[in-house]
Amino acid sequence: MAKALVDLIARTFPDAIVETSAQHGDETVVLTPDSWKSVARFLRDDPRARLDMLMDLTAVDYPDREPRFEVVVHLYSLTKGHRLRIKARVGDAEGENAELDTLTELWASANWAEREAYDMFGVSFRGHPDLRRILTYPEFEGHALRKDYPAERIQPLVPYRDVPNIEKLAPFGRDEGMPFGRQTHAHGRLEIPSDEPESL
Amino acid sequence: MGDLISNNSEIVTPGDGQGFATTRLADMLAWAQKYSLFMYPFVTACCGMEFMAVSSPRYDFSRFGSEAPRFSPRQSDLLWVVGTIVQRQAPILRRIYEQMAEPKWVLAFGTCASCGGFYDNYATVAGIDKIIPCDVYVPGCPPRPEAVLDGLMLLQDKIQKGDRRPAVVKPRHDPVDDPGLGLVQVRRSRSSRPSNAPT
């Protein structure tokens, strides 16, 4: 069923498809960023496609690729019951110029999802009515789900209390609190004596 | 549990059969405070379900004088921080704490509020003690209602003693695990229950 949709896009927009793939019966079409919105509008309005529901919009960061980000949209047809996944690749190696047309005027559910993709990955959506951060706060620097965002970097809104050893306050002992955490082990701030061999 | 109960009361002195008792004003005030904790529930996450369990009739922490929730920080003494606190909520929690009138106590409910738990990332405050002082930590993900009651009694004990050092609720000892007592676990599963067992 969805394979027919891929053929339909290929016939209607011969230059729009970068590649296609299928997994477990779910068809994926990678589109050029320029054709992103026109193909999406076609998929929503054409009676053979009628993909009237945008289930999800998100992004994936592939730091070794160029273009670096892949914006993923899952579409579903409530009337016909079929699905299609469309993708577009944007952004250079530094994560700049990651721009794509907004789908907000086609599906209202794209509004917050695009804000989330902007907040977490820094992908800008041209024409979005209100492109602000949605999960983090306006003071947040950088984009948290980019692979080059330091894993231990936090940006507190209120300063931490001015007491000694704020990282591990009493009554927590040296191996209590968060014994497994990256913040205690990766930086060597806390050394837990152990009888177990290193290989564990 | 054993740490919570002192052997005998230091504040009440037996008289000569006339029912006479003396006390100090500070002790009497502490006694009054520990049994009239007006709570402010700052419930942000899944620990809230366990908080509801503790406040509902089966576990019923109103038995401990901690009955009345006050959704204004200015009328409350005990701040229950129930659940994960993210960086974006930290200013709100800080302001709530600052609006509470003295004397005030803070109870960290669950692992996330105590130390961040497994949320070791850009979004989460790794323990509310990073931004506000905390009196009692109740570990667990979420803690059992019994652990919460232990935490509440531990706090009451600390209020009575005037002890503001933070403390962690220790795990309870299960008497069934003590071989000397010879206890057996009943009602472990319905199928293994003997048919002629007394109810």
**What pLDDT digit, counting tens, does each position of B118-136 carry?**
888 899 998 898 999 999 9
Please answer yes or no on whether B117 and A136 come within 8 Å at the CB atom.
no
- A123-177: pLDDT as tens digits: 999 999 999 999 999 999 999 999 988 888 889 999 888 887 777 776 776 556 5
Residue of B nearest to A183 (CA): B120
Where in the sequence is the domain holding B105, given as residue range(s)?
Answer: 25-174
List, edge to edge, every strand of the sheet that includes B167-168: B39-43, B78-82, B105-109, B136-138, B167-168
Please answer yes or no on whether A137 and B137 come within 8 Å at the CB atom.
no
d(CA A13, CA A91): 23
d(CA B76, CA B40): 6
Domains of chain A, earliest start first: 2-126 (3.30.460.80)
Is residue B153 included in any domain, yes or no? yes
Please give the pLDDT value at position B151. Answer: 92
Task: Please tell me if residue B168 touches chain A, with a CB cutoff of 8 Å.
Answer: yes
Is residue B1 included in any domain, yes or no? no
- ipTM tops the 0.85 cut: no
Is residue B47 included in any domain, yes or no? yes
Residue ranges of E strands in A43-187: 53-61, 69-76, 83-90, 99-101, 124-126
Q: Which three-class secondary structure state does DSSP give residue A69?
A: strand
d(CA A134, CA A102): 16
Please answer yes or no on whether B114 and A177 come within 8 Å at the CB atom.
yes
Q: Indicate if the pLDDT at residue A69 is higher than 80.
A: yes
Share of chain B above pLDDT 90, in %: 38
% helix / strand / coil in chain A, to the nearest 5?
A: 20, 20, 60
Task: Please tell me if residue A138 touches chain B, with a CB cutoff of 8 Å.
Answer: no
Residues of A in contact with B123 (CB under 8 A): 135-136, 144
**Number of helices and strands in chain B (H, E):** 5, 5
Please answer yes or no on whether B166 and A181 come within 8 Å at the CB atom.
no
Please give the pLDDT value at position A125. Answer: 94
Please answer yes or no on whether A151 and B166 come within 8 Å at the CB atom.
no
First to last CA, chain B: 29
Is residue B75 included in any domain, yes or no? yes
The pLDDT-based confidence of A108 (bands split at 50, 70, 90) is very high
Contact between residue A88 and residue A33 where contact means Cβ atoms under 8 Å apart: yes
Task: Please tell me if residue A173 touches chain B, with a CB cutoff of 8 Å.
Answer: no
User: CATH number for the domain including B157?
Assistant: 3.40.50.12280
Is residue B16 included in any domain, yes or no? no
Please give the pLDDT value at position B172. Answer: 76
Is residue B188 included in any domain, yes or no? no
Do you find a cis peptide bond into A171, omega within 30 degrees of 0? yes
DSSP classification of residue A105:
T
Residue of A nearest to B115 (CA): A177
| Neighbouring-strand partners of residue A54 | A75
Residue of B nearest to A144 (CA): B122
- B84-94: pLDDT as tens digits: 999 999 999 99
The pLDDT-based confidence of B64 (bands split at 50, 70, 90) is confident
Residues of B in contact with A156 (CB under 8 A): 87, 90, 125, 130-131
Task: Please tell me if residue A165 touches chain B, with a CB cutoff of 8 Å.
Answer: no
d(CA A145, CA A44): 30
Is residue B17 included in any domain, yes or no? no
Query: How many domains, in total, are found in chain B?
Result: 1
Give the A:B interface size as CB pairs under 8 Å.
68
